[in-house]
Chains A and B, each alone.
Chain A
Amino acid sequence: RCVSRTHVNYEVKDNVAVIRINDPTSKVNTLTRQLQDDMMEVLNEVWGNSAVKSAVIISTKPGCFIAGANIDMIKVCKSAEEVSKLSKEGQMMFEKIEKSPIPFVAAVNGTCMGGGLEFAIACHYRVATKSKKTVMALPEVMLGLLPGAGGTQRMPKMLGLPTAFDVMLTGRSIRADKAKKMGLVHHVIDPLGPGVKDPEERLIEYLEEVAVGVAKGLAKKTVTVEKKKGLMQKVQDAVLGIPLVRNQVYKTVTQKVMKQTKGLYPAPLSIIEAVQAGVEKGPAEGYHVEAVNFGKLAMTPESRALIGLYQGQVACKKNNFGKPEREVKSLAVLGAGLMGAGIAQVTVDKGVATILKDTTTEGLARGHDQVYKGLNDKAKKKSITTFERDMTLSFLKGQLDYSGFEKVDMVIEAVFEDLSIKHKVLKEVEAVIPPHCIFASNTSALPIREIAAASKRPEKVIGMHYFSPVDKMQLLEIITTDKTSKDTTASAVAVGLKQGKVIIVVGDGPGFYTTRCLAPTLVEGIRILQEGVGPKKLDSLTTGFGFPVGVSTLIDEVGVDVAAHVAEDLGKAFGSRFGGGNVDVLKTMIQKGFKGRKSGKGCYVYSAKKKDKQVNSGTEEILKAFKLTAPPAVSGDEDVQYRLVSRFVNEAALCLQEGILADPVQGDIGAVFGLGFPPCLGGPFRFLDSFGADKLVQKMKRYEDAYGNQFTPCQLLLDYAKDPSKKFHK
């Protein structure tokens, strides 16, 4: 029978069954059908062998215990019942382990997520390595699902209600030492340095040796599973033993979830329901609700959207342009402003020697401080040590001149958004850099071909559009012109990936993809403000639709001057389609010094002390001066929301139609990760698929009648509206 077993195997060492997992068909272990069948077979053999007194579950795959359930297994299911069945099978397997006559030790090295962690917590004892790759999490909520293999039932028992909710509702990653503190693992071991073989290979062996030792101890009862509870834990347990208190916990958690999700995400509520069922009504009911809810969630458009985003993100973390001819080992950033310093930070963070050049010592000092602060914040949070902070900072070299540029492999300019300045630095840089060096422009709207016009070697010129704050925003939009060489693109993508970015590669044009979608949305926002909807109301309407940041706040965050600049530039390029609101509103705001958050005033007034921001009365007066009458037929709350969204989505579709976007996946990823398009909708194209292009076109036609051609649906939308079987995502 061993012949057919490919994913799981075992050996008996000193009465301990060592069960080893390794999926030979993939870089990571996932809970596939094959793996589960192999596992059940092995478990039955182990239980049938009276010489086995305890067991160890370990993965021999480097960097991965079990990464989770296999998403494709869920995606192919056609009904909620089918998915529930998968959940029940998982529940049963893990329950068998939990109730096993012999103790099980989970030996965890590397990713241990979702179903993998549910597997581990079904075991009686957990040993984990403190390797950087060892991460535990129940990230199902981020996919619009719940931990469907007993996770909602075991976690509360193991961690207590509040922590269990925190882990399951945020899906956050937990490192081994933190897991030890929380009581999620019993024992941790430090990673090893080089010995007489590959360190990780030896670490897995060592982990196995330690786990076997624990397993023997458990069998002989010299090791106990019980942990000593601290006073706080005892108090918490006692308090949570009172049903009334527990009810209050459920209520508070639900309120918190509703506040954060605006009720747009069903998964967190389902998780609370499953936990509550198990705690209040017993395990049978708990497991039942968990399985049923799991099935229901898998069929929701929210889950499909989130899974789509997850898979899109994985796709956008690959380099589809091949291996660059030479690796970028040293890089220079021009301009030590917010963006420049941010780019420098994410670059030195990965050990790449980086020159940060500015024109003034003040600018340079500010930029250097920004990088230091970014790293120091990490040190304060203990995600790096102060020593690592200092070592990382040593890769940064601040300077005012071009010395050393003759050795850099890539220059990223982040100077002021003005074509003539960009031309000036491009020429200066090209005079000093080596022939192979790539020149990248971090611009949010200036067409790259216009910048490259000043270049002697346009094949080495590319756009790299970062988002602010660079160290927090995941997206990087890379813009290629028809002259950009493939190797230049490959190199830019490789650098972006090293910086940890999710990357979309788009064609050149005013505003590229992201800024082009943002501009009409902002202009419509201004129109809505002019029509008398206050900034606060506009914010709540947009966040209520699922945008993480409301439009008024977004204008302040982006900067009123930047918004005006972009609206005007793109307005010139695209004509009346980018009309609607009056750019003079923004210009008047700038005149009065209301430049947004950076100047302390914009749509709102910002002060360091008050958390609750107040609407800026100065801006309200300006809006009154520019007041327009709202056509009543299209000015209800829902219409306001769809006016904003339809302009966004229409422009995205136009980008796909014109070939600026290569595919809908990159369009969705760019919109969600760069602009905060509602994640529950999965991006403009996923939204069109689930909402229906025809329905959106109908709405747009109504708006077109009231406002004019800024709402005219593009041809691609009309095509998809005509044929409902056409979908952007398969």
Chain B
Amino acid sequence: FNRPAVLSKSKKTLSKPGVRNVVLVEGVRTPFLQAGTTYADLMAHDLARGALQGLLNRTAFPKEAVDYIVYGTVIQEVKTSNVAREAALGAGFSDKTPAHTVTMACISSNQAMTTAVGLVASGQCDAVVAGGVEFMSDVPIRHSRKMRKMMLSLNRARTLGARLSLLGSLRLSHLVPELPAVSEFSTAEMMGHSADRLAAAFGISRLDQDEFALRSHVLAKKAQDEGLLTDIVDFKVPGKDIVSKDNGIRPSTMEQMSKLKPAFIKPHGTVTAANSSYLTDGASAVLIMSEEKALAMGYKPKAYLSPTYAIPKVLERSGLTLADIDAFEFHEAFAGQVLANLTAMESDWFAQNCMGRKAKVGAPPMEKFNLWGGSLSLGHPFAATGCRLVTMVAHRLKKEGGQYGLVAACAAGGQGHAMLVEACPQ
């Protein structure tokens, strides 16, 4: 893994004179578990608290030195709508440290980190904790609008007669519950359905997708067995065992995978349960600081961070080319989606017609791509994935001796996020 890559870089470092360097000091996550397994009886802020405490334990960072906390989440538990604050207080952070929650679908924690980087770069903060949590074992299921309307009116009704007449209007249809939206509001399309169409648009075959998914699981298993997934902190579930491993990594065989029926577009679709990421519970957290403060406090920062949206932009802004990147960590929502993205990056037509560029961006080489598994195998707790990606790329740079890493992720609503990560001097 020790390539002499550093020598051939088009740029020595990303740091600019006069601009504060922003560093990743540490990143941790709870084990990612399939929804409905060991975490089933918890709540989102429990997992978030676990990640935050884990971060503090691992860094021994003084709680009061944290200036700000930003946390991402997608499906909100209505009881803890600012889950950042609930988890922070529960984890023993100072009640004087403000905390806010962001949501941006699968790139929520990417956005949390971006906010953190901005706060540090602008000099408003020296140390910010960012993270994300997703808890799919329990989702808020609401009463129907009709029922809610009636219940709210019932609250306001003064007399028994008024209440009875309201109750008299109760119909069976009032009792039909409302599930959280499985499809996007603006397009009324489910993610999996969209991924299948995306794969079809780029001509990505079922075989390609299954192979990619298998690769993800095999690499993840290898990384797990070799003990490379060091960002995991143990999580003790009350009344149950201590959880210390992801439980969704399951290398299968091509033959077994080929037997599955398409999950969304039937019968001719190509996206199946095996080549999609699964519903996952999990939380992650990172400590982001200014380099000078981190060094002054005696920390050894792992990486420099420089986020923006979308890969070509981030590369052009930093004056790098794809060849400069040593480690790629892309979010794998669906095998079809990753492969479609890679195909798009290799396509001049796409670059010219859909991106307003003269020529293609170029796709990353597979030998540098998601080498420790990805969301398909490790799991994908929506709002926790971003921090997992960044921490993992920092760890990979260290392990592989690379200098630059690139993180990219897609999100519902047609949004994307990319971040350049540069290894700090060892």
Contact = CB atoms under 8 A, between A and B. Distances in A.
Do A and B come from the same complex? yes
Interface of A: 187, 189-197, 199, 202, 205-206, 210, 213-214, 385, 387
A197 B200 CA distance: 12
Given A192-B197, A193-B197, A194-B201, A387 B185 contact: yes
Contacts of A205: 203
Contacts of B185: 387
B193 A195 contact: no
Given A210-B268, A213-B268, A192 B201 contact: yes
Contacts of A195: 201-203, 340, 343-344, 347, 350
Interface in B215-249: none
Contact of A387 (B187, B344, B347): B187
Nearest to A190: B197
B206 to A, nearest CB: 11
A11 to B, nearest CB: 18
Given A195-B202, A196-B344, A202-B203, A385 B188 contact: yes
Given A196-B349, A213-B268, A387-B185, A206 B354 contact: no
A197 B187 contact: no
3 tightest Cβ-Cβ pairs between the two chains A and B: A195-B201, A192-B201, A196-B347
Nearest to B350: A196
Contacts of B343: 195-196
B265 A199 contact: no
**Which of B193, B203, B340, B354 has most chain A Cβ within 10 Å?**
B203
B186 interface: yes
Contacts of A194: 201, 350, 353-354
Contacts of B268: 187, 189, 210, 213-214
B198 A193 contact: yes
Interface in B348-384: 349-350, 353-354
Nearest to B348: A196
A194 B352 CA distance: 12
B353 to A, nearest CB: 7
B322 to A, nearest CB: 18
A520 to B, nearest CB: 52
Contacts of B340: 195
Contacts of A199: 201
Nearest to B204: A195
Contact of A206 (B193, B200, B344, B349): B200
A191 B194 CA distance: 10
25 contacts: A189-B265, A189-B268, A190-B265, A191-B197, A193-B198, A193-B201, A194-B350, A194-B354, A195-B201, A195-B202, A195-B344, A195-B350, A196-B203, A196-B347, A196-B349, A197-B349, A202-B200, A202-B201, A202-B203, A206-B201, A213-B268, A385-B188, A387-B185, A387-B187, A387-B188
A187 to B, nearest CB: 8
A486 to B, nearest CB: 35
B193 A190 contact: yes
A202 B350 CA distance: 13
Contacts of A197: 349
Nearest to B187: A387
A138 B198 CA distance: 34
A202 B349 CA distance: 13
A520 B39 CA distance: 82
B265 to A, nearest CB: 7
A672 to B, nearest CB: 38
Contacts of B350: 194-196
B193 A196 contact: no
B200 A192 contact: yes
Given A192-B200, A195-B350, A206-B201, 20 more contacts: A190-B193, A190-B265, A192-B197, A192-B201, A193-B201, A194-B201, A194-B350, A194-B354, A195-B343, A195-B344, A195-B347, A196-B202, A196-B203, A196-B350, A199-B201, A202-B200, A202-B203, A206-B200, A210-B268, A214-B268
Contacts of A387: 185-188
B194 to A, nearest CB: 9
Contacts of B349: 196-197
A195 B265 CA distance: 18
Contacts of A193: 197-198, 201
Interface string B175-206: 00000000001111000010001101111000
A206 B197 CA distance: 10
Interface string B137-164: 0000000000000000000000000000
A209 to B, nearest CB: 8
A205 B202 CA distance: 11
Contacts of A196: 202-203, 343-344, 347, 349-350
Nearest to B353: A194
A16 to B, nearest CB: 15
Contacts of A187: 268
A230 to B, nearest CB: 19
Contacts of B198: 193
A189 B340 CA distance: 19
B258 to A, nearest CB: 15
B327 to A, nearest CB: 27
A257 B326 CA distance: 75
B372 to A, nearest CB: 29
A387 B181 CA distance: 15
Nearest to A210: B268
Contacts of A202: 200-201, 203
A194 B197 CA distance: 10
A730 B121 CA distance: 79
Contacts of A206: 200-201
A135 B30 CA distance: 52
Nearest to A197: B349
A351 B340 CA distance: 30
Interface string B70-114: 000000000000000000000000000000000000000000000
Contacts of A210: 268
B357 to A, nearest CB: 14
A190 B344 CA distance: 20
Nearest to B196: A190
A195 to B, nearest CB: 4
Nearest to A391: B186
